């Protein structure tokens, strides 16, 4: 409802609703996707490195070569789906199209993934990776935060706003190669993370650099165990919108 006028809310209640993706009719007052579009939002079961979440043929039995050589600060990374197809379109609608009603159902899917991980039990706090301040102003709704609230609720663990973003350089639209060259200190962790076993939540993982920086900041703030869960991971190197 945030950012909407009362008039818009009234129109939405009385006009026939339609699916945000295919425009199929929805029950009166409903928002979001129709059942057949939700059926296209599917998890990705392909093998991934248990530590960094990158595609890796021997996962989850062993870590990928990159993690074997230089382990990232997080102990584990779980990925729900591929950032492609209907899932990608749904995330973009939630991020930029004002369809914040899509966040809770996606968050429930992520919560179910986390609940099935071997490391689920010792989690003291669910922490969103904060989005860029410019995005915050423009969107009014922050997808990673909504997902983290839903996961926290699903696991019965506290939601903690434990990281703050620094700097003003935008990541969206940059290629992987450019992202890797960006300066390293993108987040600061709050004292609320000290001594806690945390679960970091983000909506989209492209190179994994953002997640690694968030985990590094959480570690520097004294978090004693860091696991990550992301809703969608980019399938291949490319320029993302």
Site residues for Zn ion per CB under 5 A:
19, 21-22, 24, 34, 37, 49, 51-52, 64, 67
Residues in the chain: 241
Minimum distance from residue 214 beta carbon to Zn ion (Å): 16
Contact predicate 145/129, CB 8 Å: no
Minimum distance from residue 19 beta carbon to Zn ion (Å): 3
Instruction: Report the sign of the C-alpha dihedral through residues 30, 31, 35, 36, in that order.
Output: positive
19 vs 200, which CB is nearer to Zn ion? 19
Instruction: Report the sign of the C-alpha dihedral through residues 147, 50, 132, 196, in that order.
Output: positive
- Residue bearing tokens 């609940």: 115
Quote the DSSP letter at residue 101.
G
Minimum distance from residue 49 beta carbon to Zn ion (Å): 3
Intra-chain end-to-end CA distance of the chain, in Å: 26
Quote the DSSP letter at residue 15.
S
Minimum distance from residue 185 beta carbon to Zn ion (Å): 23
Minimum distance from residue 38 beta carbon to Zn ion (Å): 8
Tokens describing residue 46: 């392909």
Task: Tell how strand 187-189 and strand 163-165 pair up.
Answer: antiparallel
Tokens describing residue 232: 């969608």
- Residue bearing tokens 């679960």: 199
40 vs 222, which CB is nearer to Zn ion? 40
What span, in angstroms and rounded, lies between the C-alpha atoms of 165 and 131?
7
Contact predicate 93/21, CB 8 Å: yes
Minimum distance from residue 22 beta carbon to Zn ion (Å): 3
């Amino acid at each position: 409802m945030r950012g909407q006028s009362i008039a818009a809310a009234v129109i939405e209640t009385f006009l026939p609703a339609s699916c945000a993706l295919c425009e199929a009719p929805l029950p009166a007052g409903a928002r979001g996707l129709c059942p057949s579009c939700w059926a296209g939002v599917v998890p990705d079961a392909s093998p991934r490195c248990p530590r960094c979440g990158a595609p890796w043929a021997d996962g989850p039995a062993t870590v990928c070569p990159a993690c074997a050589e230089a382990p990232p600060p997080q102990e584990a990374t779980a990925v729900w789906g591929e950032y492609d197809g209907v899932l990608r379109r749904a995330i973009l609608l939630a991020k930029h199209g004002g369809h914040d009603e899509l966040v809770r159902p996606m968050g429930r899917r992520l919560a179910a993934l986390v609940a099935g991980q071997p490391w689920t039990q010792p989690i003291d706090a669910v922490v969103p990776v904060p989005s860029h301040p410019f995005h915050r102003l423009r969107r009014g709704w922050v997808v990673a935060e909504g997902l983290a609230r839903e996961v926290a609720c699903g696991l019965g663990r506290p939601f903690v706003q434990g990281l703050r973003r620094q700097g003003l350089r935008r990541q969206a639209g940059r290629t992987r190669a450019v992202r890797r060259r960006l300066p390293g200190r993108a987040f600061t962790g709050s004292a609320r993370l000290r001594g806690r076993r945390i679960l970091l939540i983000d909506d989209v993982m492209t190179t994994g650099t953002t997640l690694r920086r968030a985990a590094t900041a959480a570690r520097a703030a004294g978090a004693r165990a860091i696991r990550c869960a992301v809703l969608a991971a980019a399938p291949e190197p490319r320029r993302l919108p």
